[in-house]
Amino acid sequence: MTQLALVIDLNVCVGCHACVTSCKEWNTSGISGTLADIMPYGKDPSGTFFNRVQTFEVGEYPNTQTVHFPKSCLHCEDPPCVPVCPTGASYKREADGIVLVDYDKCIGCKYCSWACPYGVREVDPVRKVMTKCTLCVDRIYDDALPESERKPACVMACPTNARLFGDVHDPDSEVSEAIRDGGGYQLQPEWGTKPANHYLPRRKTDITIHEDELIRSDNPLSKELDRPVGPVEEQTLDDVTSW
Protein backbone atom coordinates (compact mmCIF):
# COMPACT_ATOMS: atom_id res chain seq x y z
CA MET A 1 0.00 0.00 0.00
CA THR A 2 1.23 3.47 -0.84
CA GLN A 3 1.82 5.72 2.17
CA LEU A 4 2.41 9.33 1.23
CA ALA A 5 4.25 11.44 3.79
CA LEU A 6 6.61 14.30 4.46
CA VAL A 7 10.24 13.94 5.49
CA ILE A 8 11.53 17.07 7.24
CA ASP A 9 15.24 17.75 7.60
CA LEU A 10 15.81 19.53 10.92
CA ASN A 11 19.40 20.17 9.96
CA VAL A 12 18.51 22.62 7.22
CA CYS A 13 15.22 24.10 8.46
CA VAL A 14 15.86 27.76 9.26
CA GLY A 15 12.45 28.47 10.81
CA CYS A 16 11.45 30.99 8.15
CA HIS A 17 7.73 29.96 8.27
CA ALA A 18 7.46 29.87 4.45
CA CYS A 19 5.83 26.43 4.84
CA VAL A 20 3.33 27.85 7.33
CA THR A 21 2.24 30.77 5.16
CA SER A 22 2.19 28.82 1.89
CA CYS A 23 0.07 26.12 3.59
CA LYS A 24 -2.35 28.73 4.86
CA GLU A 25 -2.56 30.44 1.48
CA TRP A 26 -3.10 27.26 -0.51
CA ASN A 27 -5.65 25.72 1.82
CA THR A 28 -7.56 28.94 2.28
CA SER A 29 -8.07 29.20 -1.45
CA GLY A 30 -8.46 25.45 -2.09
CA ILE A 31 -11.16 22.91 -1.22
CA SER A 32 -10.48 23.09 2.52
CA GLY A 33 -12.23 26.44 2.82
CA THR A 34 -11.05 29.58 4.52
CA LEU A 35 -8.80 28.84 7.49
CA ALA A 36 -10.02 31.17 10.21
CA ASP A 37 -8.03 34.22 11.31
CA ILE A 38 -9.45 35.95 14.37
CA MET A 39 -8.11 39.47 15.03
CA PRO A 40 -4.90 38.73 13.08
CA TYR A 41 -3.52 42.19 13.79
CA GLY A 42 -5.02 42.57 17.28
CA LYS A 43 -3.45 42.04 20.68
CA ASP A 44 -4.50 38.42 20.96
CA PRO A 45 -4.57 36.95 17.44
CA SER A 46 -5.75 33.39 16.89
CA GLY A 47 -6.64 31.24 13.93
CA THR A 48 -6.40 27.85 12.29
CA PHE A 49 -3.17 26.49 10.87
CA PHE A 50 -2.47 23.06 9.38
CA ASN A 51 1.26 23.49 9.91
CA ARG A 52 3.17 25.32 12.63
CA VAL A 53 6.89 25.75 13.34
CA GLN A 54 7.91 25.46 16.98
CA THR A 55 11.27 26.96 17.89
CA PHE A 56 13.15 26.08 21.05
CA GLU A 57 16.62 25.94 22.59
CA VAL A 58 18.36 22.67 23.45
CA GLY A 59 21.53 22.00 25.42
CA GLU A 60 23.24 23.76 28.30
CA TYR A 61 24.86 27.17 27.99
CA PRO A 62 27.27 27.80 26.30
CA ASN A 63 26.64 24.71 24.15
CA THR A 64 23.08 25.53 23.16
CA GLN A 65 21.36 25.20 19.80
CA THR A 66 18.20 26.71 18.39
CA VAL A 67 15.98 24.05 16.85
CA HIS A 68 13.13 24.85 14.46
CA PHE A 69 10.55 22.07 14.43
CA PRO A 70 7.78 22.18 11.80
CA LYS A 71 4.80 20.03 12.77
CA SER A 72 1.59 19.06 11.00
CA CYS A 73 -0.55 15.90 10.89
CA LEU A 74 1.85 12.96 10.61
CA HIS A 75 -0.65 10.78 8.67
CA CYS A 76 -0.18 7.92 11.11
CA GLU A 77 -0.46 4.38 9.77
CA ASP A 78 -2.50 3.46 12.86
CA PRO A 79 -4.20 6.79 13.60
CA PRO A 80 -6.01 6.97 16.96
CA CYS A 81 -7.97 9.99 15.70
CA VAL A 82 -9.95 7.80 13.27
CA PRO A 83 -11.70 5.12 15.41
CA VAL A 84 -12.84 7.66 18.04
CA CYS A 85 -14.79 9.75 15.52
CA PRO A 86 -18.51 9.12 16.22
CA THR A 87 -19.68 10.13 12.73
CA GLY A 88 -17.00 8.57 10.53
CA ALA A 89 -15.86 12.04 9.43
CA SER A 90 -12.23 11.23 10.26
CA TYR A 91 -10.85 8.59 7.94
CA LYS A 92 -7.68 7.16 6.38
CA ARG A 93 -7.57 6.60 2.64
CA GLU A 94 -6.58 3.10 1.50
CA ALA A 95 -5.10 4.25 -1.79
CA ASP A 96 -2.43 6.62 -0.44
CA GLY A 97 -2.62 6.56 3.38
CA ILE A 98 -3.67 10.21 3.72
CA VAL A 99 -5.78 10.89 6.83
CA LEU A 100 -8.62 13.31 6.09
CA VAL A 101 -11.69 14.90 7.67
CA ASP A 102 -15.03 14.93 5.82
CA TYR A 103 -16.33 18.37 6.78
CA ASP A 104 -19.89 17.44 5.84
CA LYS A 105 -19.90 14.68 8.47
CA CYS A 106 -17.87 16.46 11.18
CA ILE A 107 -19.93 17.75 14.13
CA GLY A 108 -16.98 19.52 15.82
CA CYS A 109 -17.08 17.32 18.96
CA LYS A 110 -13.22 17.39 19.18
CA TYR A 111 -12.85 13.72 20.21
CA CYS A 112 -10.23 13.27 17.50
CA SER A 113 -8.11 16.16 18.79
CA TRP A 114 -8.06 14.59 22.26
CA ALA A 115 -7.06 11.22 20.73
CA CYS A 116 -4.21 12.66 18.63
CA PRO A 117 -1.04 12.57 20.75
CA TYR A 118 0.68 15.18 18.58
CA GLY A 119 -1.70 18.12 18.99
CA VAL A 120 -1.99 18.78 15.28
CA ARG A 121 -5.78 18.94 14.85
CA GLU A 122 -7.32 22.39 15.12
CA VAL A 123 -11.03 23.08 15.30
CA ASP A 124 -12.15 25.88 13.00
CA PRO A 125 -13.93 28.36 15.30
CA VAL A 126 -15.96 29.80 12.45
CA ARG A 127 -17.12 26.69 10.59
CA LYS A 128 -17.09 24.54 13.79
CA VAL A 129 -15.37 21.62 12.06
CA MET A 130 -12.08 19.88 12.75
CA THR A 131 -9.25 20.73 10.38
CA LYS A 132 -5.73 19.45 9.76
CA CYS A 133 -3.09 18.89 7.08
CA THR A 134 -4.43 17.15 3.97
CA LEU A 135 -0.99 16.72 2.33
CA CYS A 136 -2.52 19.08 -0.24
CA VAL A 137 -4.66 16.27 -1.63
CA ASP A 138 -6.25 18.83 -3.98
CA ARG A 139 -2.83 19.66 -5.47
CA ILE A 140 -0.88 16.46 -5.68
CA TYR A 141 -3.35 14.77 -8.09
CA ASP A 142 -4.16 17.89 -10.13
CA ASP A 143 -3.48 17.03 -13.80
CA ALA A 144 -3.71 20.73 -14.68
CA LEU A 145 -0.45 21.34 -12.81
CA PRO A 146 2.94 20.43 -14.27
CA GLU A 147 4.10 17.15 -12.72
CA SER A 148 6.97 18.91 -10.91
CA GLU A 149 4.41 21.03 -9.03
CA ARG A 150 2.19 18.18 -7.85
CA LYS A 151 3.58 18.43 -4.35
CA PRO A 152 2.23 19.94 -1.13
CA ALA A 153 2.45 23.75 -1.06
CA CYS A 154 4.84 23.66 1.91
CA VAL A 155 7.29 21.48 -0.02
CA MET A 156 7.16 23.84 -3.02
CA ALA A 157 7.76 26.90 -0.81
CA CYS A 158 10.61 25.72 1.42
CA PRO A 159 13.68 27.75 0.42
CA THR A 160 16.14 25.30 1.95
CA ASN A 161 14.57 22.08 0.60
CA ALA A 162 14.04 20.92 4.16
CA ARG A 163 10.80 19.21 3.14
CA LEU A 164 10.57 16.10 0.96
CA PHE A 165 7.36 14.39 -0.13
CA GLY A 166 6.71 10.89 -1.40
CA ASP A 167 5.82 7.28 -0.69
CA VAL A 168 7.59 6.02 2.43
CA HIS A 169 6.56 2.43 1.57
CA ASP A 170 8.46 2.50 -1.72
CA PRO A 171 12.06 1.57 -0.82
CA ASP A 172 13.35 3.33 -3.95
CA SER A 173 11.59 6.66 -3.35
CA GLU A 174 13.50 9.84 -2.51
CA VAL A 175 11.89 9.95 0.95
CA SER A 176 12.80 6.33 1.79
CA GLU A 177 16.37 6.97 0.71
CA ALA A 178 16.54 10.12 2.85
CA ILE A 179 15.20 8.20 5.88
CA ARG A 180 17.73 5.41 5.34
CA ASP A 181 20.74 7.64 4.66
CA GLY A 182 19.93 10.43 7.12
CA GLY A 183 18.78 8.38 10.11
CA GLY A 184 15.14 9.47 9.73
CA TYR A 185 12.96 8.90 12.77
CA GLN A 186 9.28 9.00 13.74
CA LEU A 187 7.92 11.32 16.40
CA GLN A 188 7.18 9.54 19.68
CA PRO A 189 6.96 5.98 18.31
CA GLU A 190 6.09 4.80 21.83
CA TRP A 191 2.48 5.83 21.16
CA GLY A 192 2.24 3.00 18.60
CA THR A 193 0.59 5.27 16.00
CA LYS A 194 3.31 4.62 13.37
CA PRO A 195 3.56 8.20 12.05
CA ALA A 196 4.16 8.25 8.30
CA ASN A 197 5.98 11.60 8.44
CA HIS A 198 9.63 11.34 9.46
CA TYR A 199 12.27 13.79 10.68
CA LEU A 200 15.94 13.84 9.78
CA PRO A 201 17.98 14.74 12.89
CA ARG A 202 20.35 17.66 13.35
CA ARG A 203 23.91 16.78 12.36
CA LYS A 204 27.15 18.09 13.80
CA THR A 205 29.29 19.91 11.26
CA ASP A 206 32.92 20.57 12.11
CA ILE A 207 34.22 23.84 10.70
CA THR A 208 37.93 24.21 10.15
CA ILE A 209 39.33 27.63 9.27
CA HIS A 210 42.69 27.41 7.53
CA GLU A 211 45.35 30.06 8.01
CA ASP A 212 45.32 31.07 4.32
CA GLU A 213 41.58 31.79 4.55
CA LEU A 214 42.34 34.65 6.97
CA ILE A 215 44.53 36.60 4.57
CA ARG A 216 41.92 38.02 2.13
CA SER A 217 41.99 41.80 2.21
CA ASP A 218 38.15 41.99 2.30
CA ASN A 219 37.85 39.46 5.13
CA PRO A 220 36.83 41.09 8.44
CA LEU A 221 38.75 38.36 10.25
CA SER A 222 41.89 39.29 8.32
CA LYS A 223 44.99 39.24 10.50
CA GLU A 224 47.34 41.55 8.60
CA LEU A 225 46.81 45.22 9.32
CA ASP A 226 48.49 46.90 6.32
CA ARG A 227 45.65 46.43 3.82
CA PRO A 228 45.79 48.40 0.57
CA VAL A 229 43.77 51.61 1.01
CA GLY A 230 42.26 53.18 -2.16
CA PRO A 231 41.60 56.86 -2.81
CA VAL A 232 38.97 58.23 -0.40
CA GLU A 233 36.43 59.10 -3.12
CA GLU A 234 36.55 55.62 -4.66
CA GLN A 235 33.75 53.28 -3.50
CA THR A 236 34.76 49.92 -2.11
CA LEU A 237 32.65 46.81 -1.57
CA ASP A 238 32.33 47.81 2.09
CA ASP A 239 30.54 50.98 1.00
CA VAL A 240 27.88 49.25 -1.06
CA THR A 241 27.12 46.13 0.96
CA SER A 242 25.74 45.58 4.43
CA TRP A 243 28.48 43.40 5.81
Q: Nearer Cβ to ligand SF4, position 113 or 215? A: 113
Size of the site for ligand SF4 (CB under 6 A): 29
User: Which of 23, 35, 36, 74 touches ligand SF4 (CB under 6 A)?
Assistant: 74
Contacts of 80 (CB under 8 A, 6+ apart): 115, 116, 117, 191, 193
Could you say whether residue 15 binds ligand SF4 (CB under 6 A)?
Answer: yes
Segment near ligand SF4 (CB under 6 A); pick from 78-86, 141-149, 217-225, 234-242: 78-86
79 part of the interface to ligand SF4, by CB under 6 A: yes
Using CB under 6 A as the binding rule, the residues of this chain from 104 to 143 that contact ligand SF4 are 116, 118, 120-121, 132
Among 4, 6, 7, 13, binds ligand SF4 (CB under 6 A): 13
Measured distance CA(127)–CA(36) in Å, rounded: 8
- 89 interacts with ligand SF4 by CB under 6 A: no
Nearer to ligand SF4, 90 or 173 (CB): 90
> Contact at 8 Å (CB) between 123 and 111?
no
Task: Compute the distance between CA of residue 171 and CA of residue 223 in angstroms, rounded to an integer.
Answer: 51
36 vs 53, beta carbon nearer ligand SF4: 53
Nearer to ligand SF4, 22 or 173 (CB): 22
- DSSP codes of every residue in 94-145: TTT--EEE-TTT-----HHHHH-TT---EEETTTTEEE---TTHHHHT-TTS
Q: Which amino acid is at 228?
A: P
User: Rounded to the nearest whole angstrom, what is the least distance from the CB of residue 191 to ligand SF4 in the complex?
Assistant: 8
Residue among 36, 9, 47 nearest 158 (CA): 9
- Asked if 71 touches ligand SF4 (CB under 6 A), the answer is no
The per-residue DSSP string of 160-204 comes to T--EEEEETT-TTSHHHHHHHHHT-B-S-GGGS---S-EEEPP--
Give the binding range for ligand SF4 (CB under 6 A) out of 79-87, 137-145, 165-173, 228-236. Answer: 79-87
Contacts with ligand SF4, residue ranges (CB under 6 A): 13-19, 53, 68, 70, 73-76, 79-81, 99, 116, 118, 120-121, 132, 157-158, 160, 162-163, 193
